Amino acid sequence: MAATSSSGARVLALASSPQGLSAARAAQGKKDTVLTVLQTESFPQAETAAGALYDAILVLDVGNIQDGAAARPAAQALAQAVCRAVAPGGFVLVAEGSGDAEQARRLMKRLLVYEGLVSATDSEVASFVADHLTGFETPIMWTGRKPTWAAGAADTVSGSNGVVASGSNEVDADDLIDEATLIDPAEAYQPLGKDRSSCASRPKACPNCTCGRKEAEEAAEKTRRKLESGEIRSSCGNCYLGDAFRCAGCPYRGMPAFKPGEKVSLEETSVVAPVPGMQKEVATVSMNKVRIADLGDDM
């Protein structure tokens, strides 16, 4: 609640339309409450930095502010003046039914929130009106309240003074986990970034391979030799059938089908084919290389 002076609460009513002025005249202050009525249009100019702080401001109408972008500067000036004039903890009541445009009243509410006002509860407003005003029966569209704290304010938090609350979880030194024990020392360090080498574009792994391809090829070759010697047997049973039936990591990938126990070897073969338009020459394909040989008068 706003801090009222010893002489009572100070209430300001802003009105310009006939409906607003009629509502302002009907309202009267109780006890030592001082009720002041000012025109809405003249209030931003009349309000000064050292002006009085009011415990409540009744915005009975928004004056000549209409809906549209052109009315925003005038509405913003009115909202800023209202927020400066209301005391910390004081109320701002925006009335409805004054004949103003609906969008203009919503604009005023939005600008008041932008200036720092927070929503007030109906019970707080009803208690203030019942204690300080009589004859005020104008319907209210929105009620706001100026916070008692300033923007950017800080507050201290009392400490526990070393006392542990009942039921809190205490962590012993034995319950702590050493992060170094979570790392497997057997895992090889994989370099990242520009210093990491890759053999993906090469037919074989590099001698100083660091991407893991060399180790994978050596493991596959070792497994293949064990399969051929009969030391181990195929777990899936499809290694002998060809690539269509082999697993993704099968050491026989890329090799032809074979019989169990048979050693797989790729022999060098040559294919001779005549070259179209060249009766005395043939093309020999050997180890993925094409060679053209002159056969003389044999053809």
Give the span between the Cα atoms of 232 and 219, in whole angstroms: 14
Could you identify the residue written with the tokens 């179209």? 276
3-state secondary structure of 272: strand
Q: Is 199 annotated as a binding residue?
A: yes
Q: Is 83 annotated as a binding residue?
A: no
Strands 34-38 and 54-59: unpaired
Give the span between the Cα atoms of 15 and 88, in whole angstroms: 23
Give the span between the Cα atoms of 147 and 67, in whole angstroms: 29
Contact 111, 96 (CB under 8 A): no
Cβ neighbours around 219 below 10 Å, total:
12
Helix 102-114 / helix 72-85 crossing angle, nearest 10 deg: 50
3-state secondary structure 160-221: CCCCCCCCCCCCCHHHCCCHHHHCCCCCCCCCCHHHCCCCCCCCCCCCCCCCCHHHHHHHHH
Q: Is 236 annotated as a binding residue?
A: yes
3-state secondary structure 30-84: CCCCEEEEECCCCHHHHCCCCCCCEEEEEECCCCCCCCCHHHHHHHHHHHHHHHH
| Residue stretches of the annotated binding site for [2Fe-2S] cluster | 199, 206, 209, 211
Q: Which residues are annotated as a binding site for [4Fe-4S] cluster?
A: 236, 239, 247, 250
Residues placed in the known binding site: 199, 206, 209, 211, 236, 239, 247, 250
